[in-house]
Structure 1
Amino acid sequence: MKLASYKSGRDGTLMIVDHTLTTCCPATDIASTMQAALDHWDSVAAKLEEQYTLLCEGKHSGAEPFDTSRCAAPLPRSFHWADGSAYVTHVELVRKARGAELPASFWEDPLVYMGASDAFIGPEDPVEAESEDWGIDFEGEVVVITDDVPAGTTVEKAANHIKLLGLVNDVSLRNLIPGELAKQFGFYQSKPWTAFSPVLVTPNELGSAWDGARLHLPLRATYNGELVGAPNAGQDMTFDFPTLIAHCAKTRSLMSGAVIGSGTVSNVGSKDGSCCLAEIRCLETIRDGKPSTPFMSFGDRIHIEMLDAAGSSIFGAIDQQVVRYQPSRD
């Protein structure tokens, strides 16, 4: 099953989307919003699935063309957004570029931060920044959405709480990060709004590519029309999604609609390219002594997408342009 949200108010209108991302229909007679569906997943999932089947068979009377330009983030805002750094090879590369050793604990215990979840943005909404000097970067990631997860949930049981999967562009302002990390209190200004793929999908949509813990398909990042990365999201993922969920729920419960991110998808040696500019710059620094690829400029475009084995888009594409915003000084 594939679900989206058309823009409407703060929380959008829940839409059911067919397997090919061609047609859709409102789900408002079952659940008005994505959060409402997640809050009552056990009682509404089967009803949504019935409508999805009719839609895919071309038998739904309310079918209409699916328009990604109308899409908000499938979950326009969440009570909880925790982003991990599951691909430790990415962290190792970043530290190597600046001559720093990676502590052994990074391979044994997940690194997670809480992001801004009060407003996610749609797949075609612009990346807004006041200044190019902030070091604007994209980060292609896989995310899972959970139902209620009790505190102390084990890794073995955590997998049962994964209800939906999607993609995100977790935008980073790289030149603001060092100052924030120097305070030893995590990201805040350096992490603006996160963009989501047009749809979230249930695990059964992914077939054998989803093993219950990792998604084994390449995540494609195309920057200004050039494919710069297609690392496989199932490879070199040190901490799988059940491990990340159990880590986040160690001391407190997670509420339905919690979004858990993988961190930037990265393969050892970046042999299949990179899903962020920071990694490209690190490789250049290791090779040449300094980076040569600049961060994003106004007008640049990033396209993030995952294709199935047949070459069809699974989640739809994140396709964003960087624009300057003019802040109100009132």
Structure 2
Amino acid sequence: MKLATLKLDPKQQRRDGELVIVSRDLRQAVSASDIADTLQQALEDWDAVSPRLEQRYAELNAGSAMGAFDLDTRELHSPLPRSYHWADGSAYLNHVKLVRQARGAELPESLWSDPLMYQGGGDVFLAPHEDIAALSEEHGIDFEGEIAVITDDVPMAVTPQQAAGHIKLIMLVNDVSLRGLIPGELAKGFGFFQAKPASSFSPVCVTPDELGDAWQDGRVHLPLSVHLNGEKFGEPEAGPDMIFGFPELVAHAARTRHLGAGAIVGSGTVSNPDPDGGPGKPIADGGVGYSCLAEVRMVEKILFDEIKTPFMRFGDRVRIEMFDRHGHSIFGAIDQQVVKYQPK
């Protein structure tokens, strides 16, 4: 099943949008507001609501759903325009190694057994086609292509096996980072905060069964496609190098607290080392590329002792998408341009 949130006017107190069901090919949608007004509402009563949503999804794909309309994904918000809980892990250790090396930080041995995770701001998410408004290019504007899951209510101290049953939906993430602000924040022994502005998510989220055999061991075994200014920047595999699967990440987030329905847990930046253990090659050199700029910059430093690639500048555009094995877009695309913030 594929679900999304249609944008509504926030001035009319509808900032959480309207829940819609999206066809498998992303071409059509139908309102689900008579079943649940919003995705948050559906998640809070998932066991009762999801069979009705599934039935309408089947009707939509069969061409028999009443009220179906042609879908423009630019009219969609992130599936949850805001969330009570947004926690992002860092399950790809190749990424952790590179970004830590970039700021001269050690890699603790515990990272092989205990996930990294930070709690981000969930009160405001960007829409998948909304501009990334930044104050200054000097802040080191970077994108981070990731995968995330959405849960129902998760009890405290669940096991990973139990946590797997609480994963209801999957989507993509652009976890925007301001790399220039990260070292100063972490040097204080706290953070991230200012270095992590609003994230955005794919137009559509899907139930795990929608991925078929690409969903295995709590991981998505498909490449993540990233384009920068129209050029392919990366296509790393999301499955094999994810040290902790989503059940482990959800269990980690719930170790000492309950997670409310609609909690979002991210994978961290998708990243692959070279088959020989190297840090990863650009697409142009026969590698799978990268899902963020920080990695390619560190690789340049390692290989050439010179950083050549700048962080994002005003006017730059990033596109993040994932395709099934038949070449069909699964979640729709995150497609965003960086602009200079103009106070209103």
TM-score class, shorter-chain normalisation, is over 0.9
Shift of 1:98: 4.7
2:164 paired residue number:
159
Q: RMSD of the alignment, in Å?
A: 1.0
2:283 paired residue number:
none
The separation in 2 between residues aligned to 1:24 and 1:105, in whole angstroms, is 45
1:254 paired residue number:
259
2:218 paired residue number:
213
Please say if 1:235 is aligned against 2:240: yes
Partner AA of 1:283 in structure 2: V
- Note the 1:19-168 alignment, pairs <5 A: 19-168=24-173
The SS at the match of 1:175 is coil
Partner AA of 1:5 in structure 2: T
For structure 1, list consecutive stretches of 5 or more residues without a partner in the other structure: none
- Note the 1:282-321 alignment, pairs <5 A: 282-321=298-337
For structure 2, list consecutive stretches of 5 or more residues without a partner in the other structure: 9-13, 274-278, 281-286
The separation in 2 between residues aligned to 1:320 and 1:137, in whole angstroms, is 12
- Note the 1:268-283 alignment, pairs <5 A: 268=273, 269-270=279-280, 271-283=287-299
The separation in 1 between residues aligned to 2:201 and 2:309, in whole angstroms, is 25
Shift of 1:74: 0.7
The separation in 1 between residues aligned to 2:263 and 2:80, in whole angstroms, is 10
Partner AA of 2:63 in structure 1: G
The SS at the match of 1:251 is coil
Cα deviations across residues 286-329 of structure 1 (Å, max 9, x unaligned)? 0111211000011100000000000000000000011111236x
The separation in 2 between residues aligned to 1:289 and 1:237, in whole angstroms, is 28
Shift of 1:94: 2.2
The separation in 2 between residues aligned to 1:95 and 1:81, in whole angstroms, is 23
The separation in 2 between residues aligned to 1:100 and 1:321, in whole angstroms, is 31
The separation in 1 between residues aligned to 2:218 and 2:186, in whole angstroms, is 30
Please say if 1:174 is aligned against 2:179: yes
Q: Structure 1 residues 99, 288: closer, same or farther in 2, change over 3 A? A: farther
Partner AA of 1:187 in structure 2: F
TM norm structure 2:
0.94
Which of 259, 267, 273 aligns to 2:272? It is 267
Residues 130 and 327 in structure 1, CA contact (< 8 A), matched pair in contact too: no
Partner AA of 1:207 in structure 2: G
Residues 97 and 286 in structure 1, CA contact (< 8 A), matched pair in contact too: no
Shift of 1:212: 4.3
The separation in 1 between residues aligned to 2:126 and 2:100, in whole angstroms, is 30
Shift of 1:186: 1.5
Cα deviations across residues 219-253 of structure 1 (Å, max 9, x unaligned)? 01100011110101002111111111111111111
Identity %: 59
Residues 31 and 44 in structure 1, CA contact (< 8 A), matched pair in contact too: yes
